[in-house]
Each structure stands twice: as C-alpha cells, then as structure tokens.
C-alpha cells in the first residue's frame, strides 16, 4: 500500500512539475512573440495565446495581465470608436479578473491607469474629466504598492507630455516624471523573468525630447 | 498496484500515440471570415487564432472528448463538445454578433438621450453649459432641440404644442414638482438645478415609457452622478452671484455641500433694460448630496436642496396708467432619496422617496396672495433581467399633492381661500423585447387612480424599432397619456376628469461615428382639455372637460462632430401645426405659444492653442399668434418673427495651479427687436380702439460673466 501511495505521489509530482514547466514555457513563448511583434495582428494572436493560458491557470495573474496589455495596445491603435470601446471593455474585464487573483499588485494598477487613458481617447470631451481622475488614482495606487515600479511614472509622464498646459500638462510637468521613470527603469530588477518589463526604450526617447526642449529654452 | 500502474502507462502511451487535428473556419452571420478569433480546448493551452481567411488548425493529444471554445470580441462565444474519434476533424463555425454591444437596436422614437457616459451622445452636461444662448440653463439648452421651444416671456419649455405644465421633470426617476424658479411677470424663469449635477439627460418629446405618467407632452429625466470621483473644492463667481462647494470622497461614499448666494445687481448694472426694480432679485440656496455604494449593485443617493429669493418690482399697469408695486418672496425645499439593490440574480429593486415644499408670496400694491404647494412621491420598481432579449419592470407609485392658495383683496377687505389635496396611485408594467437582432419592441401599460377626481385611467404604450442596417433605423411609437388639470382648476372643482393625449410618432435615424441625422413625424390628439366660460374676480366659471385639440408636425435634427476638425455643430428644424379649443377659446385656434417654423443652429469651435471654446447660436421662430380685440377673428394676428444670435466664450486656464474656466456670454448680440405678444388695455380709447403694449424681452442684450475654479 505504501508503495502505491509513494508511486502515485511521485507521478503526481512529476506531472505537476511538468505542468509548471509547461506554464513557464508557454508564457515565455508568448513574451517572445510580444517582444518580436511584426504587425498589429500579432497582438491579437498573442492576446489569444495568453487568454488560453489564463483560462487553464485560474491562480495565475500574469497571463491575464499580458492579454489585457495586448488589448489596451490594440485599443490605442483602433480608430473606430465602437470597436475601440469593445476592446476596452474586454481589457477592463480581464483586469477585474486578475485583480481578484492578486489585489495588491502594482503592475496591474499601472495597466489599469493605461486603460483609463485609452478611454479618454474614445471621446475626449466627455470622457476626459472622469477618466483622467481615475487614471491618476490607479497610478497613485500603483506607486503606493511599489514605489520602485517605473511604469506608473512613465505612463503618467507620457500622458502629461501630450496634455495641453492649461489642463496641467506640458513638458514642464511631464519631464520630471519621465526622468524619475528613467532612473527607476535603470534600477529595476524583475522578481523573475516572466514579470512585466516594458516601457524602458520609449521612456528613454521621451527623455530625449525633454532634453531637446531644455536646450532650446536655454 | 499492478493494474493501476498499467492504466497509467496505457494512458500515457495512448496520449503519445493518438494525435487529433481539429481544423476548420470561423465566419460571421453573413459568412464573412473572422480574423483573430480564439479557438481553443477548454482548460488547456492548446488552441489557435483564425487567420485572414478565417481558417484555424489545432493539434491535440487528448482522448475521447474535449470542449472547444470559439471566442471573438463583439461576438457570442460558442462552447462545443467534440468527440475525438478521428485523426482529422473538420468543423466550421458561425458566430453571432453579441447584441449587448453598441450596435444593438434601441428605441429612439421621441427620445433624445444624452450623457450615457461612453456612447457618443446628443447632449452632455458640458454641451448644455457651453451652448450660447442657454446661459447655463438646462431648459435653455433644450430650446435648441427640435420639437421644443421656450416661451420667451416665461422661460418655460413648450414641447410640440403642449403647454409647459404638460412636461414633467424627474431627478433619478423622482418627480420635481417645481422644476422652475419663481418668477416676476414677463421675466423668464430658469431651471432650479445646475446642469453640472447631472451625468445624463433624457429628453423625450413623446411616446415615452409607462414608467412616467401625469405628463401629456414630454418627460425630462435628469440622472445624477453616482459617487463623486474625488475630493474637491469649487468656487464660482458670476455677475449673478457666487457659490462655494466642497466634496469629500470616502472609499464607498461621497458627500457634497454647496452654498450659493445670488444677487442680480451686477447683472442688471451691465445690461440696458426696461425694468424698474425696487429690489433686485436676491437669494440664497444650499444643497447637500450624499452617495453611498452598498454592495455590487446597491446604491443610495440622497439629495436635499433649499432655496429662497425675494425681489420687488414696479410693473406698468396700462389700465390705471400707474405702476403696480409687486413683491415676490419664495422658499423651496426639495428632497429625493433613492435606493437600488439587487434581489437575487435576475431582479433589481429600485425605490425612491421625494418631497417638494414650495411657498410663494406675492403682493400687488396692498393685495396679498400666497401659494403653498406640498408634494410627495414614493416609488418602487421591480426590474427583471431574465435575458439580454427580455427585460421587464413592474412598479407602483404614489403621489400626494396639496395646494393652498389665498388672496387678500384690500379694497373690500375680503379673503379668498381655496385648497385641495389629491392622492394619486399609479401602477405600471413594461417589457422590452428583442425579437431579433434588428427588431425591438417595448410594450407597457400604466394605470392611475386619483382620490380627488375619483377617476381611474388605463394607458397603453407601444414602441417599436427596426434596424435596417447598422447605421439606419426606423422607429414607431404609440401611446396614451393622462394628466390632472392644472392646480388653478383643481382648486375650483373636483368634477373634472383627466386631460388626455394620444401620440403617434414615426422616426428615421441615421448615425455613423460622430454624425447623426433624424427626422420624426408626429401626430398628437388632445381631448378632455379644461374649458371654462370666462374668468372674473370670483375665479373660473363653469369649468369642464370639453376642450380638445391637436398638434402635428415634423422635427429634423442633424449633428456633426466629424466633418470639421475641432468643430461641432447641430441644426434643428421643426414645423408644427397645432390648434385647440380649450380654456376660454371661443373657436378652435392656434394657441399663443406656438410658432409654426422653428430653426436653431448651434456651432462650437475649439481653439487648441488658445484653450478657448467659442460657441455661437442662431435661433429663428416664425411669428406667434395673439388675440387682437380690435379684430373680429380670434387669434388671427401674428407677431413678427423672432431672431436671436448669441455668442459664448469659455477660456480654460489655470489659476494658482487650479483648473479654471472663464466664461463670457452675450445673448442677442445684434439686438434684434423681438416681441412675444401684446398686452391690450381692457377699455377702448376715445376712437374705440384697444391700445396695444408689446410684451418684449426686458433687455435687448444680456451678458453673463463668470469664473469657475476647481481646487483639488
């Protein structure tokens, strides 16, 4: 009897180890395609891939996170307002699912802020008042949960750069945040290689613009 | 042990050996390939994305059966059990568009819906505030929509030939009995509440839901904000008064306290007007709003507002040739509390309690009048959401109205007193049915019983909508509407029945992205309108329900936010033909408040570099009928046409780091000479003619200047 039990235990362990490796392998595959995308259709492909993993791994927040990330990127690129809202609704849904799995993850709130920024673009005149407040609340929460996370600073800074000065935007307010994000990006160390690690390059570009602006002024 | 191990090995080897390929296509209802659909085996990583011609292929090692999921944004997900009994399985799928998304068919006959957060809308709160000519008043902005016209001398809205009392205003579904401010003769009233309070406005010009009753022509639904987004202090300073507000946001609740002081002295100082004020209008108002989220679907909203105002005016009396001294003092208290909660999976209970207490005191020279109105509204509605294609609501309502008017005639030292109170109970049932993706129906019925009139009514309402294509839609509405007569008549007699109107509405709507065109034809048949023989010092004589009439016409609306960058404009045109024989009309005639042709154009342009929005509007109304006692024919004379061009500028800036709006508006910039009608002297002069005195706006041009600051 003992032998049966131990054998079963070994088999189960092997299987779960196998499945764990399968998870990591599948995640890495997804991240590879995400980092080497060629066109927008790839984002839909990758989103589908991560959604499948999310469906099979109810306890993991990362697959849903990356699927939501793909949808928010797609929503920014989408021109047709109706389609844009559907993508955002999908993304919002995914975010609320992963917040149930991990309610105190700084990265999720940073992504939520980005989602709200995209909502503003659907109908700026009507959505800006509500969603700009929500976006800021999400970024503040993200920073509160992990002050070393560069993404909330980066997203906030990028948004301010494209906001007119009278609404509290412009280079003057944006650049300190971009600089802060740059500093954090350089120090940032992922807990493991599946954790989010995006935004560094584009933030560096924005920082370049900040530099130019200053030189012109001087 | 051996059998178990054997089974395991058998399983493992089986998995390795038998591969199954599932392949096929994914199409939409019209057989167009869907690219990007996610096809996968439930609970596994195994799956694929459909390619540009809708093809997919999956390889699996699973045995027996599996559940295949086909999902795509905007379409209904398919889950299908599949027997893995062949090496290659060919499957083609057709996905149905999910109707809960944006393109679903919605009933549009008679309705102008605004502010539904994400959907691109007809009018938002911001639109109301930035519409030139509206002067930040909700009713002023409605005036720029087809089917609605403001009665210039009262400031009240006339919808499709229906008097202002035929329109009812609701806040979160609860009745506001006194939606307009008290007013002096010939000076327009305004809406009592600021447009900033509301996240959504639904303006219905006919054929509305059975949820609403006691309105013959129109319903205005104002929906308040849910939780305030953040803590905020707001300061406003205008040439008509100043306000201070503070909002505090807690985790699941928010509280707002506001106080406003109004004084029209600076406003009249910068306006050339013909009013002889003894005391310029001055008043105070205070407001408390409380919101609390209770659970997933639960919400408590409470709103209390108090206001008072007073003014004194010397008003010309053409019979005596002297000026009457008129004084007005009023107090108003309005409260509404609503509570919504989920009952089980499929039901939502919506309840509300509102009351409105109004006191108006008028004095003319030494005569005194007072008008006391108490009203109370209680409501409970059970809403069922069985499926996306079938929703139902059942509701009961109770309205209590009490009105008391007194008049003290100083010359005879006589006091006239009259009062009445009515308890009206109503019930309604309504269902929204979607029979097909492109065909929807709303069928409802409403019943009411009045204890004062001792009468009951039964009103059926039907609306249909058919979507020809994603951008084109036809709607039709039909309904029966009942209403109590106005207080003035109910104070005289209780032997009246409900006034009644039938609506028939045909609507075509085209909408694509940010352009919208709609044309609506309607016919409204009135019967049981109040009729009386004449009015004298003792009041209305022989009041009955023998009045009748009709209104029919065409309303056209075009809004375009797309063609010109940074510009948004809309054009509305209404043609109306309306006649009545009611009140003391001796014959059937077009009533004095109806203009046959009405045109409004609103244009807004945003200058990004200047952070400034410029808004202009043009309004045209053909002449209104009036009764000239010098002519034999009743209501055969017409005033000149009404013209108005107004401008408003909103400049967005920051003041000490706080978001600030500077606002300047001017109505009737070119000073068109407009006339609403005429007052005739009651006695003819020596030549036998009755002299006419035009009723005109009190000023040719009016200016509003203000600054609004939000401090976070």
Contact (CB<8Å) B118/A26: no
Q: Which pLDDT does position A15 carry in this prediction? A: 46
Of A26, A55, A85, the CB nearest to B43: A55
The verdict on A152 and A184 lying in the same domain is yes
B38-41: strand order across its sheet: B47-49, B38-41, B65-71, B78-83
A138 located within any domain: no
Q: Which pLDDT does position A81 carry in this prediction? A: 74
The verdict on A116 and A179 lying in the same domain is no
- Could you say which of A104, A131, A158 is where a domain stops? A131
Q: Which CATH number fits domain B2-94: 3.40.50.720, 1.20.1730.10, 3.40.50.300, 2.60.40.1120?
A: 2.60.40.1120
Chain A residues in contact with B58 by the CB 8 A cut-off are: none
The verdict on A120 and A210 lying in the same domain is no
Q: Alpha helix locations (H) across chain A?
A: 2-35, 40-56, 62-77, 81-101, 106-122, 124-145, 150-161, 171-187, 200-217
Question: Would you call A142 helix, strand, or coil by DSSP?
Answer: helix
Region B33-38: what's the mean pLDDT?
93
* Other beta carbons less than 10 A from residue B538's beta carbon: 8
The verdict on A61 and A118 lying in the same domain is yes
The verdict on A110 and A166 lying in the same domain is no
Of B1, B126, B657, the CB nearest to A125: B126
Of B4, B48, B118, the CB nearest to A85: B118
Cβ atoms of B691 and B685 within 8 Å: the answer is: yes
A2 located within any domain: no
Chain A residues in contact with B102 by the CB 8 A cut-off are: 82, 85-86
Contact (CB<8Å) A137/B230: yes
Of B1, B47, B103, the CB nearest to A4: B1
The verdict on A108 and A192 lying in the same domain is no
Cβ atoms of A165 and A136 within 8 Å: the answer is: no
pLDDT > 50? residue B649? yes
Measured CA angle at B396 (ends B394, B402), to 5 deg: 155
The verdict on A112 and A155 lying in the same domain is no
pLDDT > 70? residue B112? no
What is the rounded distance in angstroms from the CA atom of residue A133 to the CA atom of residue A117? Answer: 10
A51 located within any domain: yes
Of B36, B38, B74, the CB nearest to A86: B74
Question: Would you call A32 helix, strand, or coil by DSSP?
Answer: helix
The model carries a pTM of 0.79
Q: Which pLDDT does position A2 carry in this prediction? A: 54
Residue range(s) defining the domain that contains residue A169: 148-218
Chain B residues in contact with A55 by the CB 8 A cut-off are: 40, 42-43, 69
* Other beta carbons less than 10 A from residue B412's beta carbon: 8
Q: Which pLDDT does position B410 carry in this prediction? A: 92
* Element spanning B265, H or E: helix B265-269
Of B42, B73, B514, the CB nearest to A86: B73
* pLDDT range class, residue B128, cuts 50, 70, 90: confident
What is the rounded distance in angstroms from the CA atom of residue B461 to the CA atom of residue B501? Answer: 12
DSSP 8-state secondary structure symbol assigned to residue B641:
P
Using a CB–CB cut-off of 8 Å, the residues of A that contact B are 3-4, 7-8, 11, 22, 26, 41, 44-45, 47-49, 51-53, 55-56, 80-83, 85-87, 90, 119, 122-123, 125-127, 130, 133-134, 137, 164-168
Measured CA angle at B220 (ends B522, B355), to 5 deg: 140
Give me the count of residues in chain B: 712
Ranges of residues in chain A with a pLDDT under 50 are 1, 11-18, 216-218
* pLDDT range class, residue B116, cuts 50, 70, 90: very low
pLDDT > 90? residue B12? no
What is the rounded distance in angstroms from the CA atom of residue B421 to the CA atom of residue B166? Answer: 20
Q: Which pLDDT does position B107 carry in this prediction? A: 62
Q: Which pLDDT does position B134 carry in this prediction? A: 85
pLDDT digits (tens, 9 = 90+) for B326-379: 999 999 999 999 999 998 888 999 999 999 999 999 999 999 999 999 999 999
A13 located within any domain: no
pLDDT digits (tens, 9 = 90+) for A102-122: 999 999 999 999 999 998 887
The verdict on A118 and A155 lying in the same domain is no
- Could you say which of A131, A158, A173 is where a domain stops? A131
Partners of B527 in beta bridges: B500, B548
What is the Cα gyration radius of chain A? 20
Contact (CB<8Å) B659/A168: yes
Q: How far does the CA of residue A53 sit from the closest CA of chain B (Å)?
A: 5
What percentage of chain B carries pLDDT values higher than 90? 66
Contact (CB<8Å) A11/B8: yes
The verdict on A76 and A166 lying in the same domain is no
pLDDT > 50? residue B617? yes
DSSP 8-state secondary structure symbol assigned to residue B690:
P
Region B129-150: what's the mean pLDDT?
87
Mutate to test the interface with A, among B45, B49, B247 (most CBs of A within 10 A): B45
The verdict on A93 and A158 lying in the same domain is no
Interaxial angle between packed helices B2-17 and A2-35, expressed in degrees from 0 to 180 and rounded to the nearest 10: 20
pLDDT top residue among B112 and B400: B400
Integer distance in angstroms from the first to the last C-alpha of chain A?
83
What is the rounded distance in angstroms from the CA atom of residue B49 to the CA atom of residue B35? Answer: 8
Nearest to B332 by CA among B186, B190, B182: B182
Partners of B522 in beta bridges: B505, B553
The verdict on A60 and A118 lying in the same domain is yes
Contact (CB<8Å) B36/A55: no
Q: Which pLDDT does position B99 carry in this prediction? A: 59
Contact (CB<8Å) B229/A134: yes
C-alpha of B56 from chain center: 49
A11 located within any domain: no
What single string gives the DSSP state of each residue in B84-103? --SSEEEEEEEPPBPTTSTT
Mutate to test the interface with A, among B46, B70, B97, B118 (most CBs of A within 10 A): B118
Query: Token pair of B154, please?
Result: 């009262």
Partners of B110 in beta bridges: none
A76 located within any domain: yes
Average pLDDT of chain B is 89
Chain B residues in contact with A8 by the CB 8 A cut-off are: 4
A77 located within any domain: yes
Chain B residues in contact with A130 by the CB 8 A cut-off are: 117, 229
Integer distance in angstroms from the first to the last C-alpha of chain B?
72
Domain with residue A32: its CATH number is 1.25.40
pLDDT digits (tens, 9 = 90+) for B177-212: 999 999 998 889 999 998 888 877 888 999 999 999
Domain spans, chain B: 2-94, 111-711
Chain B residues in contact with A7 by the CB 8 A cut-off are: 1, 5
Q: Could you give the C-alpha distances from B502 to B215, B410, B429, B480, B581, in angstroms and in order?
A: 12, 45, 19, 5, 16
Q: How far does the CA of residue A185 sit from the closest CA of chain B (Å)?
A: 29
Q: Which pLDDT does position B102 carry in this prediction? A: 47
Q: How far does the CA of residue B599 sit from the closest CA of chain A (Å)?
A: 26
Name which of B16-30, B169-183, B548-562 the model is least confident about.
B16-30
Chain B residues in contact with A26 by the CB 8 A cut-off are: 45
What is the rounded distance in angstroms from the CA atom of residue B145 to the CA atom of residue B617? Answer: 12
Q: Which pLDDT does position B159 carry in this prediction? A: 95
Q: How far does the CA of residue A187 sit from the closest CA of chain B (Å)?
A: 32
Q: How many CB pairs under 8 A join A and B?
A: 88
In words, the CATH class of domain B111-711 is mainly beta
The count of domains in chain A is 2
Name which of A74-78, B75-79, B367-371, B384-388 the model is least confident about.
B384-388
Contact (CB<8Å) B654/A166: yes
Of A4, A26, A126, the CB nearest to B121: A126
Q: Which pLDDT does position A5 carry in this prediction? A: 54
DSSP 8-state secondary structure symbol assigned to residue B19:
-
Q: Which pLDDT does position B261 carry in this prediction? A: 97
**A45 phi/psi in degrees, rounded to 5:** -60, -50
Of A41, A90, A127, the CB nearest to B73: A90
């Amino acid at each position: 009897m003992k032998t049966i039990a131990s054998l079963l235990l070994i088999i189960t362990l092997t299987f779960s180890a196998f499945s764990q490796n399968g998870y990591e392998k599948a995640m890495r595959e997804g991240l590879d395609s995400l980092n080497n995308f060629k066109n927008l259709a790839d984002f839909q492909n990758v989103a589908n891939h991560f959604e499948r993993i999310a469906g099979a791994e109810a306890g993991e927040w990362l697959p849903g996170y990356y699927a939501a990330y793909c949808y928010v990127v797609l929503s920014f690129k989408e021109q047709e307002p109706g389609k844009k809202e559907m993508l955002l609704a999908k993304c919002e849904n995914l975010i609320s699912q992963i917040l149930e799995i991990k309610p105190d993850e700084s990265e999720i709130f940073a992504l939520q802020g980005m989602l709200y920024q995209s909502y503003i673009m659907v109908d700026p005149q009507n959505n800006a008042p509500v969603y700009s407040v929500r976006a800021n609340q999400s970024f503040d929460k993200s920073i509160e949960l992990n002050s070393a996370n560069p993404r909330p600073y980066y997203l906030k800074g990028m948004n301010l750069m494209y906001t007119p000065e009278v609404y509290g935007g412009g280079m003057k307010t944006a650049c300190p945040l971009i600089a802060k994000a740059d500093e954090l990006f350089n120090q940032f160390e992922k807990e493991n290689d599946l954790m989010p690690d995006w935004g560094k390059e584009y933030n560096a570009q924005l920082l370049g613009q900040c530099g130019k602006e200053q030189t012109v002024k001087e | 042990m051996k059998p178990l191990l054997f089974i395991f090995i058998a399983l493992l080897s089986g998995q390795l050996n038998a591969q199954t390929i599932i392949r096929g296509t994914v199409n939409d209802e019209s057989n167009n390939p869907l690219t990007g659909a996610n096809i996968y085996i439930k609970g596994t990583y195994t799956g694929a994305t459909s390619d540009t011609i809708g093809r997919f292929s999956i390889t699996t090692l699973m045995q027996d059966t599996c559940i295949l999921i086909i999902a795509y944004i905007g379409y209904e997900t398919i889950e299908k059990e599949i027997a893995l009994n062949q090496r290659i399985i060919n499957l083609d799928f057709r996905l149905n568009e999910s109707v809960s998304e944006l393109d679903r068919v919605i009933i549009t006959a008679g309705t102008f819906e605004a502010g539904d957060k994400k959907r691109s809308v007809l009018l938002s709160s911001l639109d109301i505030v930035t519409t030139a000519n509206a002067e930040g008043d909700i009713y002023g902005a409605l005036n720029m929509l087809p089917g609605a016209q403001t009665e210039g001398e009262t400031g009240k809205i006339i919808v499709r030939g229906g008097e202002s009392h035929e329109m009812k205003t609701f806040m979160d579904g609860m009745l506001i009995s006194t939606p307009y401010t008290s007013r002096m003769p010939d000076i327009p009233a305004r809406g009592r509440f600021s447009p900033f309070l509301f996240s959504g406005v639904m303006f219905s010009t006919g054929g509305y839901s059975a949820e609403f009753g006691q309105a013959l022509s129109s319903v205005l639904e104002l929906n308040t904000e849910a939780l305030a987004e953040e803590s905020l202090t707001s300061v406003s300073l205008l040439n008509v008064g100043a306000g201070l507000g503070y909002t505090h946001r807690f985790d699941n609740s928010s509280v707002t306290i506001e106080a406003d002081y109004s004084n029209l002295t600076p406003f009249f100082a910068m306006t050339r007007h013909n009013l002889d004020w003894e005391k310029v209008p001055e008043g105070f108002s205070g407001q408390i709003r409380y919101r609390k989220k209770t659970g997933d679907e639960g919400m408590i909203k409470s709103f209390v507002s108090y206001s008072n105002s007073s003014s004194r005016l010397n008003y010309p009396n053409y019979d005596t040739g002297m000026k009457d001294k008129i004084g007005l003092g009023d107090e108003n208290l309005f409260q509404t509390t609503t509570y919504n909660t989920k009952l089980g999976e499929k039901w939502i209970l919506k309840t509300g309690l509102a009351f409105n207490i109004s006191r108006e005191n008028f004095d003319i020279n030494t005569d005194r009048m007072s008008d006391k109105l108490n009203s109370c509204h209680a409501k409970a509605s059970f809403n069922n959401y069985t499926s996306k294609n079938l929703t139902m609501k059942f509701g009961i309502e109770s309205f209590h109205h009490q009105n008391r008017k007194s008049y003290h005639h100083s010359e005879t030292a006589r006091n006239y007193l009259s009062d009445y109170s009515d308890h009206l109970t109503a019930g309604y049932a309504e269902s929204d049915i979607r029979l097909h993706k492109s065909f929807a129906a709303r069928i409802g019925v409403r019943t009411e019983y009045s204890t004062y009139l001792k009468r009951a009514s039964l009103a059926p309402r039907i609306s249909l909508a058919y979507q020809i294509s994603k951008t084109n839609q036809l709607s039709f509405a039909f309904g029966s509407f009942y209403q109590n007569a106005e207080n003035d008549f109910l104070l005289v007699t209780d032997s009246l029945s409900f006034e009644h109107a039938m609506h028939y509405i045909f609507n075509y709507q085209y909408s694509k992205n940010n352009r919208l065109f709609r044309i609506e034809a309607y016919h409204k048949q009135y019967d049981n309108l109040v009729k009386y023989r004449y009015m004298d010092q003792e009041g209305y004589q022989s009041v009955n329900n023998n009045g009748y009439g009709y209104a029919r016409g065409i309303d056209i609306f075009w809004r375009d936010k797309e063609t010109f960058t940074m510009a948004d404009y809309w054009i509305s045109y209404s043609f109306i033909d309306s006649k009545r024989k009611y009140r003391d009309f001796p014959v059937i005639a077009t009533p004095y408040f109806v203009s046959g042709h009405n045109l409004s154009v609103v244009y807004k342009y945003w200058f990004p570099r200047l952070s400034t929005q410029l808004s202009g509007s043009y309004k045209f109304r053909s002449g209104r009928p009036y009764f000239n006692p010098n002519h034999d024919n009743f209501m055969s004379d017409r005033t000149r046409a009404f013209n108005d061009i107004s401008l408003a500028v909103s400049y967005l800036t920051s003041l000490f780091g706080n978001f600030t709006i500077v606002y300047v508006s001017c109505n009737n910039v070119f000073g068109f000479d407009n006339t609403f009608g005429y007052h005739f002297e009651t006695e003819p002069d020596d030549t036998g003619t009755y002299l006419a005195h035009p009723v005109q706006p009190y000023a040719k041009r009016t200016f509003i200047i203000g600054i609004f600051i939000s401090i976070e």
